[in-house]
C-alpha cells in the first residue's frame, strides 16, 4: 500500500521521486499503538513526530473537572504532531481511537529536510497549514452552526478527507467514534449527539450501523451542514 502521506501531498502538488524517497527514508520505524492509548502525551517534548498510517486518532485537551474537547480527528496520512518539531512541547495529547499504525519521523530528519529540500519543506509546512484551515472551519461551525448542521458538516469533511487517501467504500466510511467522542469533538453533550443523529437519520441523510456510516444524500447533507470544501485545499497547485 502506498504511503498515505504521499497520496495526500500528491493531491496538492507534484512530488519528485527523490522527494518521495527522502520522505520514506525519514521514517525511522513503525510502531503500533493500542486503542485508547496516547500516541503523544500532553506536556511532553517529543524528539520525533508521528505519521498516522492506519487507524483513527484524536487531538484533545482535558480540563481539571474532566471535561474534554477534541480539536482534531486524524486519519491515515495525517502527521498528528508534526507541529511538535517546532513547537517543542505538546500543548495537548493525541489519543488513538482505534489501534493505530504510526510511522515515526525523528525531528533530526525533519531538520535535515528543511536544510536540504526547500520544496519538500514547503509541502510539510502546507500540511500543517491545512490543519490550521480545518481548525478555522471547525471554529466557525462551533460558533455559528446549530448542532445538527455542525454534525452534518463534520461528516462531510471526514468523508472527503478519507476519500483523498482512498479509505472510502462507495458512499460509506468507517467511523469508529462513540457518540460520547463525537460529543467531545463537536462540543455537545452525548445526549444531544444522539438526538442530532436521529434527526439526520430520520431525514434520510445518513445511515449509521456499527462502525459503518453511509451518506445517503450527499447534496442535502452538504446543504444542511453549509459545507464547502475549499478549505481542504484539494486542488493541485505548485507550492
Partner DNA sequence: TCTGTCATATAACATATGTGAGTGCGGGCT
Partner DNA sequence: AGCCCGCACTCACATATGTTATATGACAGA
Which residues sit at the interface with DNA, rule CB under 7 A?
146-148, 178-180, 187-192, 194-195, 197-198
Whole-angstrom Cα distance, residue 131 to residue 127? Answer: 7
User: Please, which of residues 141-180 interact with its own copies by CB under 8 A?
Assistant: 142-144
Q: Characterize the bridge pairing of strands 57-62 and 38-40.
A: unpaired
Whole-angstrom Cα distance, residue 211 to residue 170? Answer: 15
User: Please, which of residues 88-107 interact with its own copies by CB under 8 A?
Assistant: 88-89, 91-92
Q: Considering the rule CB under 8 A, would residue 47 count as an interface residue with its own copies?
A: no
Which C-beta is closer to its own copies: that of 98 or that of 189?
Answer: 189
Provide, rounded to whole angstroms, the least separation between the CB of residue 170 and its own copies. Answer: 28
The site string for its own copies over 55-74 (x = CB under 8 A, - otherwise) reads: ----x-x-xx--xxx-xx--
Residue 200 and residue 131 in contact, taking contact as beta carbons nearer than 8 Å: no
Which C-beta is closer to its own copies: that of 41 or that of 144?
Answer: 144
Burial class (CB in 10 A: 0-12, 13-18, 19+), 233: middle
CA-angle at 127, arms to 125 and 130, nearest 5°: 115
User: Please, which of residues 181-210 interact with its own copies by CB under 8 A?
Assistant: 184, 186-187
Q: Considering the rule CB under 8 A, would residue 138 count as an interface residue with its own copies?
A: yes
From the list DNA, its own copies, none, which binds 22 (C-beta under 5 to 8 Å, kind-based)?
none
From the list its own copies, DNA, none, which binds 80 (C-beta under 5 to 8 Å, kind-based)?
none
Q: Report, in angstroms and rounded to the nearest whole number, the Rg of the chain calculated over CA atoms.
A: 18
Residue 45 and residue 89 in contact, taking contact as beta carbons nearer than 8 Å: yes
Residue 153 and residue 226 in contact, taking contact as beta carbons nearer than 8 Å: yes
- 80's CB contacts (< 8 A; 6+ apart) are 39, 40, 49, 50, 51, 52, 57, 59, 74, 94, 102
From the list DNA, its own copies, none, which binds 198 (C-beta under 5 to 8 Å, kind-based)?
DNA
The site string for its own copies over 115-134 (x = CB under 8 A, - otherwise) reads: x--x--xx--xx-xxxxxx-
Whole-angstrom Cα distance, residue 53 to residue 49? Answer: 13
Binding site for its own copies (CB under 8 A): 59, 61, 63-64, 67-69, 71-72, 83, 86-89, 91-92, 114-115, 118, 121-122, 125-126, 128-133, 135-140, 142-144, 184, 186-187, 226, 230-231, 233, 235, 237, 239
Amino acid at each position: 500500500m502506498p504511503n498515505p502521506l504521499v497520496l495526500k501531498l500528491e493531491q496538492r502538488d507534484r512530488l519528485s521521486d527523490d522527494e518521495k524517497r527522502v520522505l520514506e527514508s525519514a521514517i525511522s520505524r513503525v510502531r503500533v499503538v493500542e486503542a485508547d492509548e496516547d500516541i503523544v502525551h500532553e506536556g511532553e517534548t517529543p524528539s520525533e513526530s508521528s505519521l498516522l498510517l492506519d487507524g483513527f486518532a484524536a487531538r484533545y485537551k482535558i480540563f481539571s473537572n474532566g471535561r474534554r474537547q477534541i480539536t482534531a480527528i486524524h486519519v491515515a496520512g495525517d502527521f498528528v504532531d508534526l507541529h511538535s518539531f517546532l513547537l517543542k512541547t505538546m500543548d495537548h495529547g493525541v489519543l488513538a481511537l482505534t489501534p493505530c499504525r504510526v510511522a515515526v519521523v525523528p525531528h533530526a530528519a525533519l531538520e535535515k529536510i528543511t536544510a536540504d529540500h526547500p520544496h519538500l519543506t514547503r509541502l510539510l509546512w502546507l500540511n500543517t497549514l491545512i490543519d490550521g484551515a480545518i481548525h478555522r472551519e471547525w471554529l466557525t461551525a462551533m460558533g455559528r452552526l446549530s448542532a445538527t448542521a455542525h454534525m452534518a458538516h463534520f461528516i462531510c469533511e471526514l468523508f472527503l478527507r478519507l476519500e483523498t487517501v482512498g479509505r472510502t467504500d462507495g458512499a460509506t466510511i468507517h467511523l469508529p467514534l462513540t457518540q460520547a467522542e463525537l460529543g467531545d469533538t463537536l462540543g455537545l453533550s452525548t445526549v444531544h449527539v444522539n438526538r442530532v443523529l436521529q434527526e439526520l437519520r430520520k431525514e434520510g441523510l445518513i445511515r449509521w450501523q456499527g462502525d459503518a456510516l453511509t451518506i445517503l444524500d450527499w447534496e442535502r447533507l452538504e446543504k444542511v451542514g453549509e459545507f464547502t470544501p475549499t478549505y481542504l485545499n484539494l486542488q493541485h497547485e505548485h507550492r
